[in-house]
Amino acid sequence: MTHTLTTPRLALRQLRAADAARIQALCGNWNVARMLEVVPHPYPDGLAEDWLASRPAAWRAGAAYTFAIELSGDLVGVVSIERQDTGDHAIGYWLGEPWWGQGLMSEAVARAIAFARDELTLDKLTSAYFSDNPASGRIQEKQGFRVIGHGHLPCEARGGDVAATFTELHLTGAC
């Protein structure tokens, strides 16, 4: 099973077992890990392999559609659309620090949103970002997400709850 999405600069492809070392290296960066809910720091050996092994079944079950973000053939981040316990679908993403500030994540998120709307035929996406990560908020704002609340989310790397902003995007035009 292969599914690749493209943008002018990027390829969003399904993950492979061979991506493990690259994911560990990029997510092992404190500046990346501290902005994600379930990524520990330091990033332990074997975690990326275990996570990657779970992705094909999650895709087949419709539970998670996870894409490697490639720039010039190199994995630079990940974007995922995952079904939540509430039945909603959430978009999440991370980008390796060397590629921050280049508009790459905005491009990847826009393409993933189009996939969610056009291929998954979803009506809505939810998301959240830590309040001390305004860059993530700007990415969502550019795509039309609106703030629906504030609260806290767990952050494994930081070892506790962190202030967060919750957002949603209606994909069908109905709010």
Task: With H, G, I as helix, E, B as strand and everything else as coil, classify residue 133.
Answer: coil
| Averaged confidence pLDDT in the chain | 96
Query: What are the b/e assignments for 75-86, b being 16+ CB within 10 Å?
Result: bbbbbbbebeee
Mean pLDDT of 97-116: 98
The residue type at 123: D
Q: Provide the domain count of the chain.
A: 1
Q: Each residue of 115-139: pLDDT tens digit?
A: 999 999 999 999 999 999 999 999 9
Q: Is residue 30 part of a domain?
A: yes
On whether residue 155 sits in a domain, the answer given is: no
Q: What is the mean pLDDT of residues 62-71?
A: 98
0.85 cut: is pTM over it?
yes
Instruction: Flag whether pLDDT at 159 surpasses 70.
Output: yes
Tell me how far apart the alpha carbons of residues 137 and 70 are, in angstroms, rounded to a whole number.
22
Tokens of 21: 């070392």
Q: Which domain holds residue 22?
A: 4-122
| Angle separating helix axes 20-27 and 47-60, nearest 10 degrees | 110
pLDDT at residue number 172? 86
Read off the CATH number of the domain in which 71 is found. Answer: 3.40.630.30
Residue 151 lies in a domain: no
Cα separation values, 113 from 31, 65, 94, 142, Å: 25, 12, 15, 12
Q: What is the pLDDT of residue 2?
A: 66
